[in-house]
């Protein structure tokens, strides 16, 4: 059926009410970081005196727990704390991998910000910690590097 009446089309299309929908990915990440917030250490302090405020937990694996932390420089980092295990996890291969990456950096690989020993390791963890940037360069950083300008 054809009609010249513009109101006929708009009257047949129902517009849903505006909904505030969170980005599902952002929402899942936020929930994951905040899920154990009451069971997390508040601060990770290295023997050097450097402190990192714990804002959440990225995840937990067989060898360690990775926390979302903020450094005294106000930058976000990932802090991987090595777990205590019956079979000792030698962190040496991981340290060597970070050293090789530092010697031949690539924009898609995380660089080690620092490694050290904690004075207050979480329960079930050793003092050993690796701290890397939280997620590498942001999308804005990648865009700016490709377009040579700032938004």
Report pLDDT digits (tens) over 9-51.
444 444 434 434 344 444 444 454 455 556 789 999 999 999 9
| pLDDT band at 109; cut points 50, 70, 90 | confident
Q: Is the pLDDT of residue 122 over 90?
A: yes
| pLDDT band at 141; cut points 50, 70, 90 | low
Rounded to two decimals, what is the model's pTM? 0.64
User: Which is more confident, 139 or 127?
Assistant: 127
DSSP per residue, 22-82: --HHHHHHHHHHHTTGGGS-SEEEBTTS-EEEEEEEEEE-SSEEEEEEEETTS-EEEEEEE
User: Which is more confident, 14 or 106?
Assistant: 106
Distance (Å, rounded) from C-alpha 67 to C-alpha 140? 23
Distance (Å, rounded) from C-alpha 55 to C-alpha 37? 7
Tell which residue, 112, 93, 94, has the closest CA to residue 103.
Answer: 112
Tell which residue, 73, 45, 64, 43, has the closest CA to residue 55.
Answer: 43
The CATH-assigned architecture of domain 41-147 is Orthogonal Bundle (1.10)
């Amino acid at each position: 059926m054809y009609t010249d009446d513009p109101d006929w089309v708009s009257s047949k299309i129902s517009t849903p009410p505006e909904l505030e929908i969170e980005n599902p990915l952002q929402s899942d990440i936020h929930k994951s970081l905040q899920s154990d917030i009451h069971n997390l250490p508040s601060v990770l302090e290295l023997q050097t005196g450097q402190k990192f405020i714990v804002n959440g937990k990225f995840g937990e694996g067989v060898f360690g727990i990775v926390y979302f932390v903020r450094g005294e420089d106000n930058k976000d980092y990932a802090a991987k704390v090595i777990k205590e295990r019956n079979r000792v996890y030698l962190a040496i291969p991981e340290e060597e991998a970070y050293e090789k990456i530092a010697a031949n950096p690539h924009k898609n690989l995380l660089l080690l910000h620092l490694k050290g020993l904690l004075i207050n390791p979480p329960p079930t963890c050793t003092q050993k910690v690796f701290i890397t940037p939280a997620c590498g360069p942001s999308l804005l950083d990648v865009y700016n590097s490709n377009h040579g300008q700032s938004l």
